[in-house]
Amino acid sequence: MNDNAAALAQARRLVAAARRLTISTGAGVSAESGIPTFRDALTGLWANYDPQALATEEGFRADPSLVWDWYATRRERIAAAAPNAAHRAIARRQLAGGADVLLITQNVDGLHRRALEEAISASTSAPDAAAITHARESIVELHGNILRVRCLQGCGPPPPGWESDSRSPPRCERCGSPLRPDVVWFGELLPEHALARAHAAAGECDLMLVVGTSGQVYPAAQLPFIARERGVPVIAINPEPTPIDEVATVVLRGAAGAMLPPLLA
């Protein structure tokens, strides 16, 4: 048995024994669906733009139409993509029962949520309403969601129908301020509730999977270290070495879409 096969067998035993499973995913999972990272998306017409002009509040206030159009381009690419085998394996595990699964993602594309809805629709065992609600509420988007918007001045999310506003950007019905993407820009704090849930999960889980992340973006990169300090096993899945390997109980070297289906089945 080769090293990766032995590691997979060990990881499967850990997953089978877990009762509180936390899965943390990064850009590598979305990359397998053809979603480029933020900087990789700065190509073509956008290649000459400073990221600070496209992903800060100051940049948005200076040129709202430019920033809105940039995010509209990214949303179009996401709409044309589909969840991959890694997204689907996680979604099936969320609905399977037997363990409480919390998903923490740094990705803003909403593909985890789409995969979960597809799994709910495709399920032949008809998960009960409580299980479906729990699964939907067990996705923590640390950096927000590019498919959502909120008022720049703090009125919160707009009522349904904002998509029909043809202005670039659309305006808040309450105060008239521009709507902005509901993502974390440079210099902004992570959503307080999402960060609190992520830290709580690292402090309460009995197994953590860290998938498709470089381990260099904080505070997400800190989560496996919190879990490991408690003696909790950590499984790291990535094609290349990362700093998380240092504390991982098991390292699976490969793509998320290849590793997660047999691991979570």
CATH number of 36-80+145-183: 3.30.1600.10
Please give the pLDDT value at position 247. Answer: 95
Please give the pLDDT value at position 217. Answer: 86
How confident is the model over 9-31, as pLDDT tens digits? 999 999 999 999 999 999 999 99
DSSP SS3 for 26 = coil
Task: Using the predicted structure, report yes or no on whether residue 123 has a pLDDT greater than 60.
Answer: yes
pLDDT, mean of residues 109-126: 90
- Amino acid (one-letter) located at 88: R
From residue 194, give the alpha-carbon distance in Å to each of 83, 143, 190, 221, 260. Answer: 22, 9, 7, 15, 24
Task: Using the predicted structure, report yes or no on whether residue 42 has a pLDDT greater than 60.
Answer: no
Determine phi and psi for 91, rounding to 5 degrees. -60, -45
Ranked by mean pLDDT, the top range of 35-49, 124-138, 217-231 is 217-231
Picking from 69, 134, 64, the residue whose alpha carbon sits closest to that of residue 96 is 134
Please report which residue ranges of 36-155 form alpha helices under DSSP H. 51-54, 57-62, 64-80, 85-96, 111-122, 129-137
Task: Using the predicted structure, report yes or no on whether residue 223 has a pLDDT greater than 50.
Answer: yes
Neighbours of 31 (CB within 10 A): 18
Query: Residue ranges per domain, the chain?
Result: 1-34+83-143+190-265, 36-80+145-183
Reported confidence tier of residue 53, pLDDT bands at 50, 70, 90: confident
Looking at 49-63, 70-84, 130-144, which range is the least confident one? 49-63
Picking from 216, 252, 212, the residue whose alpha carbon sits closest to that of residue 29 is 212
Please give the pLDDT value at position 1. Answer: 39
Of the listed 87, 112, 134, 143, which one is catalytic?
A: 143
Q: Is 143 a catalytic residue?
A: yes
Round to whole Å and give the CA distance between 103 and 212.
13
Strand blocks (E) in the chain: 20-25, 100-105, 139-141, 144-151, 179-183, 207-211, 234-238, 250-253
pLDDT, mean of residues 101-127: 91
Round to whole Å and give the CA distance between 144 and 127.
27
Reported confidence tier of residue 106, pLDDT bands at 50, 70, 90: very high
Reported confidence tier of residue 245, pLDDT bands at 50, 70, 90: very high
Q: What is the second-level CATH architecture of the domain 1-34+83-143+190-265?
A: 3-Layer(aba) Sandwich (3.40)
